[in-house]
A = this chain, B = another copy of it.
Amino acid sequence: MSCEADTTALLRSGGRRLTPQRQRVAAALQHAGGHRTVEELHELMAGQPDTPMALSTVYRALTTLKELRLVSEVDAGGRAAFTWVDHSRPHHHLVCLGCGVERDLDPALLRQLGSEIRAVTGFDAFLDHFAIMGECARCRQAAAQT
């Protein structure tokens, strides 16, 4: 897969090293899919025949991967959760602060925003995977009746 080559190249960039631990964390997250907590990933790898990994190493690997924008971090009720970012399929979430429901948002809207920001400020906004807080129509109506 090309993604592996990309990952390798990215991990090597900026004086970083391609270590088995980072590869394993990356692989585990890709394989598991969805949102995974640090604990889940750690246990997942504890089941592997390789040398067990320290929990702090998982944290550090995820931090590194996040800096490279290979994973994104979201808040899952008190503990951190991570997702593998598929750059070939950017998507965004609208999260309702009222009921917690999540729905996807048309990527086109944010793509346009990204272009505008770039045009106005020269800033390259990272909008591959983005969560916007808000309130859904249902909760808004419920709140209005209060």
Contact = CB atoms under 8 A, between A and B. Distances in A.
A86 interface: no
Given A67-B97, A97-B67, A135 B113 contact: no
A56 interface: no
Contact of A132 (B117, B122, B140): B117
Contact of A109 (B106, B117, B132, B133): B117
A94 interface: yes
Interface string A116-141: 11001111111100001111110010
A6 to B, nearest CB: 15
Task: Please list the 9 inter-chain residue pairs (A to B) with the smallest Cβ-Cβ separation, ordered nearest first.
Answer: A122-B137, A125-B134, A124-B135, A94-B123, A126-B134, A123-B134, A126-B133, A125-B132, A124-B134
